Amino acid sequence: MVPGILGKKIGMTQMFRPDGQVVPVTLLQAGPCVVVQRKTPAKDGYDAIQVALVEYLKPTRMTKPAKGHLKAAALDAARFLREFRLAPGDGDYKAGDKILADAFATRQKVDVVGTSKGRGFAGLIKRHNFGGGEDSHGSMFHRAPGSIGSSSYPSRVFKGMRMAGQMGSAQVTVRNLEIVDVNTEDNVIAIKGAIPGPKGSYVVVRRSRR
């Protein structure tokens, strides 16, 4: 069984099940991917494969060490590479092996890892979904954070206090998403629901761990 695949987010649409139910789905350009390196317990201390997403990239954008690393897989350039841990029964992969969308099936559950959209500096109302105070006339507490600590003891703000700051641009994992459809000709996978990231962002699709 394939441990996972790399892809790019195409966008969202909806599909119809055979019983007529409408399902919102996210389309992913999943692959083609190529195994760049096989890591073994004897040499590296763990069993895994390094996978690269095959897409056009000028070779001049790659450094010489990176080109030498991809040479074993007969790739000129690659922008997106990730590792997948191997479990017993996953098969014997070697550099140059291809991973395509046909390795997945409908109704299969997967985890999707992506980078959320960046929202910049956001206040705590938006960032943490606080309720805030009343908007009525005379109120002096609208979108303020409220108390963030005692003045007498400990006379400091504890670490981890929810406050305003950078929002988004963080790694997000959505678990147990269902694969609704697999287009083996175009390597497109339709996954039920939304996944993190804007259109064109890179994602990692791996088999569900729960």
- Selected from 2.40.30.10, 3.30.750.80, 1.10.3720.10, 2.70.70.10, the CATH number assigned to the domain covering 4-207 reads 2.40.30.10
pLDDT for the residue 44: 85
Name the token pair of 207.
């088999």
**Count of CB atoms situated within 10 Å of the CB of 67:** 14
Q: Where are the alpha helices (DSSP H) in the chain?
A: 64-70, 124-128
More reliable by pLDDT, 172 or 60: 172
Q: What digits encode the pLDDT tens for the residues 9-48?
A: 999 999 998 888 999 999 999 878 888 888 888 888 888 8
205 pLDDT band, cuts 50/70/90, is: very high
Specify the amino acid at residue 179: I
In the chain, the percentage of residues whose pLDDT exceeds 90 is: 42
pLDDT in tens, 139-168: 988 998 888 888 888 899 999 999 999 999
